[in-house]
């Protein structure tokens, strides 16, 4: 599939034809692979990413050491964080890392403001994105404030399985510990407990989710 077709395909049904054409004309398609840092904390953002395929994880970092996964972004989404940065010319407050390989359409920031006045569907999309991101942040807050680590862990595994389209999660205990801002020993301990409850199966460097194979 060429660039034109990919973009048509992704945004058909979301935007009016005219806007899709504008996007196709303005966008530059950029492939990425697992682990790529797409947005770094403290950097200004000059082009807005629209996710075509793949998944991206949004991380928050403590001022001295800690790190925390906020949420995943999937196909057709964009990062409202980025929207805010573009609109306000602010530095990024978050880091975006590719969870797996995929493709983003990069659109120059100045088109955004233009489309805001011009296309109702674009405004709706922007609001929808904001709303989704808001809810994901709220969800992150709920997890942190109201849930214990074992629940957060299980939840994390399910989310990771979902965005990777598999029930096998290829991550080490150490990696999971980073994303949940915990320690490897604690994660190993809780994983073992989950295994004993029959909810997961542990292998070296990967974890199988039992039941509900997404």
Partner DNA sequence: CACAAAATGTAACTTAGGTAACACAAAACA
Partner DNA sequence: TGTTTTGTGTTACCTAAGTTACATTTTGTG
Q: What residues line the site for DNA (CB under 7 A)?
A: 148-150, 172-174, 181-186, 188-192, 202, 204-206
Closer CB to a copy of itself, 16 or 113, in the complex: 113
* Structural tokens at position 35: 């682990």
The closest alpha carbon to 76, from 108, 115, 49, 46, belongs to 49
72 binds a copy of itself (CB under 8 A): no
Those residues whose C-beta lies under 8 Å from the C-beta of residue 183, and which sit 6 or more positions away, are: 177
Q: Which is nearer to DNA, 159 or 195 (CB)?
A: 195
Report in angstroms how near the CB of residue 142 gets to DNA at its nearest.
Answer: 14
Q: How far is the C-alpha of 194 from the C-alpha of 201, rounded, in Å? A: 8
CB of 102 to DNA, least distance (A): 23
- Is 134 one of the binding residues for a copy of itself (CB under 8 A)? yes
117 near a copy of itself, judged by CB under 8 A: yes
- What are the b/e assignments for 46-64, b being 16+ CB within 10 Å? ebbbbbbbbbbbbbbeeee
Is 80 a residue that touches a copy of itself (CB under 8 A)?
A: yes
Give yes or no for residue 88 binding a copy of itself (CB under 8 A).
yes
Residue 185, binding choice from DNA, a copy of itself, none, Cβ under 5 to 8 Å by partner class: DNA
Binding flag, residue 145, a copy of itself (CB under 8 A): yes
The residue (of 6 and 137) whose beta carbon lies closer to a copy of itself is 137
Which residues contact a copy of itself (rule: CB under 8 A)?
60, 62-63, 66, 68, 70, 80-81, 83-84, 87-88, 90, 93-94, 113, 116-117, 120, 123-124, 127-128, 130-131, 133-135, 137-138, 140-142, 144-146, 181
């Amino acid at each position: 599939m060429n660039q034109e077709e990919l973009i048509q395909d992704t945004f058909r049904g979301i935007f009016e034809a005219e806007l899709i054409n504008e996007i196709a004309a303005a966008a530059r398609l950029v492939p990425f692979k697992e682990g790529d840092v797409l947005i770094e904390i403290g950097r200004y953002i000059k082009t807005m990413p629209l996710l075509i395929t793949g998944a991206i994880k949004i991380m928050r970092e403590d001022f001295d050491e800690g790190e925390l996964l906020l949420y995943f972004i999937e196909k057709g989404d964009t990062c409202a964080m980025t929207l805010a940065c573009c609109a306000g010319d602010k530095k990024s407050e978050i880091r975006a890392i590719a969870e797996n390989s995929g493709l983003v359409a990069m659109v120059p920031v100045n088109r955004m403001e233009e489309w805001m006045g011009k296309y109702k569907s674009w405004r709706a999309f922007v609001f929808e994105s904001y709303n989704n991101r808001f809810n994901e942040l709220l969800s992150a807050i709920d997890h942190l404030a109201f849930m214990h680590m074992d629940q957060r862990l299980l939840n994390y595994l399910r989310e990771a399985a979902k965005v990777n389209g598999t029930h096998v999660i290829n991550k080490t205990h150490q990696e999971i510990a980073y994303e949940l801002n915990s320690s490897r020993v604690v994660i190993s301990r809780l994983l073992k407990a989950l295994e004993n409850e029959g909810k997961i199966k542990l292998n070296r460097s990967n974890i199988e989710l039992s039941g509900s194979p997404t």
